[in-house]
Structure 1
């Protein structure tokens, strides 16, 4: 009888969490880390270490792991289990409740983030009074929503400048509105299919509406928390309507797009993105190119300042209009 009681006591002691202990990662090479399991997604486990901070490890590098508090496991068979886990055989963990073994290949996610929108709103305004009165405004809104099966992206950009001298009427030197939306579907690892639509109106360039609809494939060359770089390539159909309807045109095009963000410091990041849309019908004559390069500095919580160069090229603008446009933009923004 005493042997059975002692055995039950030892088993209970083994399976119950011990106060003061932390979650533990055990790597295949024998290394161990203590801290807290944050989440697992796309085959990568994020772990907050007591010593080195946040660590991301591929599950195929792990022997096993254990937790001191229940975690939410989303399994590949559709079940969701909330339980503490303990170390088990290589490539698996064991549920503390019913002691059933769960292989890493059976786990789709751990503690997934609730789906929500993330993005930023940046705005810059300049009003000058004197011999020359001028008004300038820049608004840039970005939003994205990510889930396992898809990703949505949305962007709205507005740029407006006007000036006057000696009490004359204002002369508009820049008036641009561009709206873009994109839908991504993961294919395998870092690859994804995308479908993209864009509408643009440029009053100064006499462009009533430019519509670009396209699709293609993207690849995340670098996907780290401090360094991200992705490229996209595909085909699109471009339709341009001008004030002078004799200039209206449409044509098939290829599209190459890139987006790079690199943290230079805890509060400073560098970004560069671009889009090249050459016509497949008149490759050497009709091309659109947009690039944006700048620095972003984190200020108070959620707030940031940024300075960037925005350059655009249209090799066939409306008659009498400029082929190139370069803007120096300084803005204050809020991230969410």
Structure 2
């Protein structure tokens, strides 16, 4: 075989290898062929997710991936976003927009009825679906805690709570319910005796007319405490609030407003009225702090200034730590304090001013 034949054979064997290596070195991922049934999101790592955009609030974007479920992604980690339908969008200056949303090159565009507006991504405050998918506005949590004591004493304690929130680009509805029940069994008689039995239900609706200022259009609280001598207490009010600090990991807001309160007592002294009504000045403060990816800390303090016959000052304080466990389950460590400055005497007995407890519970978010 001639030398030229060897050269041709060697080059034919070598050429495919060189071509394949060059292909590997120059290969780049191809952008997906967009299916308009889904929203599409690209992260800074180059990965694409398809699914449904749920919401954006405090720089955290919730995206329901078709493959991986709900993902919480910081807006700084999003390089591209394309929505299939219209979104309700709020800017930092309070402006409300509606339309299909595109995020690209650190900017976002809103398209509606053939018109397109573009803004710097730093102007984006919040996003909520404008397609009428009601469940996309809501998040909720249920919580259960219990304690059993056996031996020289026999006692059972239960705490059940639930909360729900509906959030859009310009409004917020919040509701909270908690019930505490304790029962002790006498070792001498064998009879069970209730030692705690109280319930509280709250609800409020806020409308944000600027990113930090909101009007509380409705504020309601129901409270009953058998051992606090309160058969039922209803408070109706309105108010105004302001976010002193509102960043991704920390928020602090205050609120104030007038209310009206009615209270029915279980028992009173002879000649005393078993029902009291009072005007109320309601002051509140809430703080939420994301300590780490898996630990949240919150404080909620409310004080009602009422007439002396209705209690004078009514305090409600709640603080605790929430620790992420597995999936949607969390461990909650919560301290509660309720105080009535002038409790109503039940016959000859004056209820204690302070009612406090520490609860360890398991919660589920959905």
- TM-score w.r.t. length of structure 1: 0.73
Partners of 2:54 and 2:142 lie apart in 1 by: 28
* Residue 57 (structure 2) pairs with residue 19 (structure 1): no
Contact 1:66 1:85 in 2 (8 A): yes
Larger Cα-atom Rg: 2
Residue 117 (structure 1) aligns with: 138
Query: Which of 311, 321, 331 in structure 1 is aligned with 2:337?
Result: 311
* Separation in structure 1 between the aligned mates of residue 60 and residue 327 of structure 2, nearest angstrom: 27
In structure 2, distance between residues paired with 1:23 and 1:118: 22
Give unmatched runs, 5+ long, in structure 1. 1-17, 26-31, 58-64
Displacement of 1:335 in angstroms is: 1.4
Residue aligning to 1:147: 168
1:185 aligns with 2:211: no
Partners of 1:43 and 1:104 lie apart in 2 by 18
Task: Please list, as runs of the form range in 1=range in 2, the aligned pairs for 1:30-45 lying within 5 A after superposition.
Answer: none
Q: 1:238 to 1:284 in 2, by over 3 A?
A: closer
Instruction: State the partner residue of 1:10.
Output: none
Q: CA deviation at 1:217?
A: 0.5
Deviation at 1:314, TM superposition (A): 0.5
Write the distance in 1 (CA, Å) between the matches of 2:205 and 2:194: 35
* Aligned mates of 2:360, 2:344 — CA distance in 1: 29
Are residues 33 and 286 of structure 1, via their aligned partners in 2, closer, same or farther at CA, if it must alter by over 3 Å? same
CA distance in 2, matches of 1:43, 1:275: 24
Residue 228 of structure 2 aligns to a residue whose secondary structure is coil
Quick check: 1:286 aligned with 2:312? Answer: yes
Give aligned pairs, total. Answer: 295
Deviation at 1:229, TM superposition (A): 1.8
- Give the aligned CA root-mean-square deviation in angstroms: 4.1
1:150, distance to aligned residue in structure 2 (A): 2.4
User: For residues 198 and 111 of structure 1, what CA distance do their matches in structure 2 show?
Assistant: 28
| 1:174 correspondence with 2:196 | yes
Partner Cα distance (1:197, 1:69) in 2: 40
Q: Can you give the 5+ residue segments of structure 2 that lack an aligned partner in the other structure?
A: 1-28, 33-39, 64-72, 90-95
Bigger proportion of residues as helix: 2
Structure 2 residue aligned with 1:102: 117
Change (3 A) 1:271 1:68: closer
The alpha-carbon distance between structure 1 residues 186 and 243, as it changes in their structure 2 partners (threshold 3 A), is same
Question: Is the aligned partner of 1:54 residue 2:65?
Answer: no
**Alpha-carbon spacing, 1:151–1:249, altered in 2? closer, same or farther (3 Å):** same
Give the alignment's TM-score, normalised by structure 2.
Answer: 0.67
Q: 1:55 to 1:180 in 2, by over 3 A?
A: same
Deviation at 1:255, TM superposition (A): 0.8
- The alpha-carbon distance between structure 1 residues 111 and 173, as it changes in their structure 2 partners (threshold 3 A), is closer
Distance in 2 (CA, whole Å) between partners of 1:238 and 1:148 is 32
**What SS does the aligned partner of 1:204 have?**
helix
1:277: Cα distance to partner? 0.5
- Report the equivalent of 2:19: none
Q: Please report how far the alpha carbon of residue 326 of structure 1 lies from its aligned counterpart in structure 2 after TM superposition.
A: 1.3
Aligned position for 2:304: 277
Distance change >3 Å, CA 289–CA 36, structure 1 → 2: farther
Residue 228 (structure 2) aligns with: 205
What does the per-residue CA deviation read over 1:277-322, in whole Å, with 9 as the maximum and x for residues that have no partner?
012x449971100111211111001101111211111012132211
Tell whether the 8 Å contact from 2:186 to 2:193 is kept in structure 1 after alignment. no
Equivalent residue for 2:239? Answer: 216
Cα deviation, 1:107-150, whole Å, max 9, x if unaligned, reads 99767485332121111112223232111100111111112342
Matched, 1:295 2:321: yes
